[in-house]
Amino acid sequence: MYIFGIDIGGTSVKIGFFKDSFELLEQWEIPTHSNSLFEEIAENIKAYISKKNISFEEIFGYGLGIPGMVKNGIATRCVNLGWENVDIRQEFNKALGYDARVYVFNDANLAALGEASYLNSKWDSVVFITLGTGVGGGIIFHQEVVEGADGLGGELGHMHIDDKYNFTCGCGKIGCLETIASATGIVRLTRYYKDKLPTRLDLNQITTKDVVDAAKANDPLASYAFDEACQALAQAMANLSVIINPDAFIIGGGVSNAGAFLLERIQKYYTNKCLEQATHTKINLAVLKNNAGIYGACAYLIKKKHEVEKNGKC
């Protein structure tokens, strides 16, 4: 049997064609056109399977990730694509033209599932945190994605963590994790301390990578700003450890390119802030990067397939 993983982004849709053994056979992208999106994805998939001589019966199902909040297959809110309470499962089935197995998740939640399944399929509960322009996240609890009552589950970037800087977040609140620990937050912190610490950085045109590279070279300003971001992140992780006590934390997004340098600092502060029993919790860097979502879709459908084989229903 085969599985399609579909990760819908603001500018492009990533499509992955998998075997039900978790093996990615082929992947490609098509542009995101918000007015005829599902029809275009469905047409693209139909053309692909026809070319490969595969029938619909050989496809176990489809997993979709969307850049917004999701609850039971319904996009409760997706600002990028202008959706509010859109039944994605129904829309996609209509476009496919048959009653397929379709599961829909928030993209970061799906990426969490992908990274967790890829790194260690035995993990039961995992927290995935992406440090990009903002801070995203996904929580897998007892191998299920946590959506919560309104699809807000896993919106880790908006955890209130800071009472020192009072930076305003994109969500309108003050002190969210992403105002400090995102790529944007790290640059913001660096500029915030510009008159207090010496630096070799040109602050008019710095990127997060510049700050990380300078921190690696012991630049006082860059080191301090990067350290503050790591402490905020470690604080959020320590808080989460007493809520779901995960098997592992997985750190992804552009900032995770800092690699071991980032991991060592987070580990140091996390160990310091969490309870003794949670100090053994693994902290890993993400490995699938942009493919995490399609792998997550595949992992979820494989789990559903096992349920069907065991119980005869889905």
The binding site for Zn ion (CB under 5 A) comprises 158, 169, 171, 173, 176
Compare residues 91 and 162 and give the one whose CB is closer to Zn ion: 162
CA dist 111 and 114 (Å) reads: 5
The least CB distance from residue 36 to Zn ion, in Å, is: 32
The least CB distance from residue 257 to Zn ion, in Å, is: 23
The least CB distance from residue 258 to Zn ion, in Å, is: 23
The least CB distance from residue 180 to Zn ion, in Å, is: 11
The least CB distance from residue 187 to Zn ion, in Å, is: 17
Compare residues 76 and 281 and give the one whose CB is closer to Zn ion: 76
Compare residues 5 and 153 and give the one whose CB is closer to Zn ion: 153
Compare residues 41 and 176 and give the one whose CB is closer to Zn ion: 176
Q: Strand 74-77 vs strand 126-131: parallel, antiparallel, or unpaired? A: unpaired
Compare residues 61 and 185 and give the one whose CB is closer to Zn ion: 185
Structure tokens at 176: 């969210």
